[in-house]
């Protein structure tokens, strides 16, 4: 039985608590959130006690922590938990600054801590199956990957201002997915972006529509297309082209019902947003973390995966600003 301390009980913290609650081999033992109702909601659902961050770190009966706090707190809380001997599940990104991430990962390594970073899409049944088809040789050698990721609507501009920008906040998931599907490290990044959705996003210094082209040392290519708006719902597709074929994952809908008449074909809208679309992935992710810690297995995606995705995001931002292709070593 793995006992968790939960730090941060907002949108994603609550989702993770629900996932842990459904497991027979894990429980939320304690929760801290400065917002009383947020912590109380977890207490009511799981029977967790309310504790301070220091209490959670000092409690020897707590084996692991879930860090679901705002991004600027992640690195400090990872270091605290690592020094306290806890296994760590931390939401993406580890930090918005690569140097800070590296310093934090040094502490994780020194303390020999098990750390998973919340790239939930690696646990989505569709994308897992795409990777499995690649591993089984169904499409031969991977040559080109295409990732389409469009949010239904942009977040509030106040969020955009502290988010780290589209590449670090949104496309970071797609950078990780590109690495997951290419199976090789990316060595070249070029990116472009525009403000097409909301001028306020541009005034906040960000873009809301962007494309990144990635290349590995052996010449494999990935193209990522992001938009902060898709009128038809949360658009999440991948396609991988290989030497012997192609494998793709289409969008998910709540049912597969299609109506056909003289106006054409009508289907259900796409699943609304990440909380609905990736609900099962979040459960699989925490289930995998718990199993890995209990069985002392290697954890993936780990801190290095978090760092690599952030390095790609930074490279994309430099490419957007300079118009040049950025080489990574
Ligand atoms: N993997 C994903 O799909 C995904 C989705 C959403 C958010 N996230 C990440 O999760 C993190 C949280 O995002 P969110 O949308 O849940 O935000 P949120 O604002 O809904 O929740 C954050 C919670 O942390 C609490 N908090 C603030 N300071 C705290 C502290 N010192 N200790 C403990 N709790 C504290 C806040 O009161 C709030 O309840 C962000 O880093 C975000 O990037 C990841």
Share of the chain above pLDDT 90, in %: 99
**Mean pLDDT to the nearest integer, 106-121:** 98
Q: For ligand 1, is residue 119 a contact (CB within 6 Å)? A: no
Q: Is the pTM of this model over 0.85?
A: yes
How many angstroms separate the Cα of 326 from the Cα of each of 170, 280, 315? 20, 36, 6
pLDDT tens, position by position, 262-304: 999 999 999 989 999 999 999 999 999 999 999 999 999 999 9
pLDDT tens digits along 88-100: 999 999 999 999 9
> Two tokens at 283?
């459960």
Question: From atom 19 of ligand 1, which residue's Cα is the shortest distance away?
Answer: 10
Name the residue with the closest Cα to ligand 1, atom 38.
10
The CB of 273 under 6 Å from ligand 1? The reply is no
Q: Is the CB of 34 under 6 A from ligand 1?
A: yes
Say which residue the tokens 């952030």 belong to.
310
Ligand 1 near 35 CB (within 6 A): yes
Q: Which residues pair with 12 in a beta bridge?
A: none
Q: What is the 3-state secondary structure (H, E, C) of 304-323?
A: HHHHHHHHHHHHHHHHHHHC
Segment 167-193 mean pLDDT? 98
pLDDT of residue 57: 98
Average pLDDT over residues 295-315: 97
Q: Which residues pair with 49 in a beta bridge?
A: 30
> Is residue 306 within 8 Å of 67, Cβ to Cβ?
no
Of residues 80, 96, 114, the one with CA closest to residue 306: 96
């Amino acid at each position: 039985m793995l006992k968790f301390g939960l730090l941060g009980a907002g949108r994603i913290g609550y989702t993770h608590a629900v996932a842990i609650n459904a497991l027979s081999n894990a429980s939320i033992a304690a929760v801290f959130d400065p917002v009383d109702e947020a912590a109380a909601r977890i207490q009511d659902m799981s029977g967790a006690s309310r504790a301070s961050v220091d209490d959670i770190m000092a409690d020897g009966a707590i084996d692991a922590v879930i860090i679901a706090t705002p991004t600027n707190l992640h690195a400090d809380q990872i270091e605290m938990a690592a020094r306290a001997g806890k296994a760590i599940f931390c939401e993406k990104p580890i930090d918005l600054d690569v140097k800070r991430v590296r310093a934090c990962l040094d502490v994780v390594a020194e303390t020999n801590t098990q750390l998973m970073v919340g790239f939930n899409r690696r646990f989505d049944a569709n994308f897992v199956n795409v990777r499995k088809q690649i591993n089984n040789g169904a499409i031969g050698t991977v040559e080109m990957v295409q990732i389409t990721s469009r949010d239904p609507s942009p977040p509030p501009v106040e969020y955009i201002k502290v988010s780290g920008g589209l590449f670090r906040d949104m496309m970071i998931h797609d950078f990780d997915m590109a690495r997951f599907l290419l199976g090789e490290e990316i060595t070249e990044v070029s990116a472009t972006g525009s403000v097409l959705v909301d001028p306020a996003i541009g005034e906040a210094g960000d873009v809301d529509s962007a494309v990144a082209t990635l290349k590995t040392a052996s010449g494999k290519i990935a193209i990522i297309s992001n938009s902060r708006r898709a009128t038809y719902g949360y658009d999440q597709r991948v396609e991988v082209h290989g030497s012997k074929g192609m494998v793709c994952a289409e969008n998910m809908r709540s049912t597969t019902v299609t109506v056909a008449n003289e106006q054409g074909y009508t289907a259900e809208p796409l699943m609304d947003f990440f909380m609905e679309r990736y609900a099962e992935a979040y459960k699989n992710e925490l289930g995998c973390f718990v199993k890995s810690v209990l069985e002392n297995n290697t954890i993936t995606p780990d801190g290095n995966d978090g760092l690599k995705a952030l390095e790609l995001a930074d490279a994309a931002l430099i490419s957007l600003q300079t118009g040049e292709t950025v080489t990574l070593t």
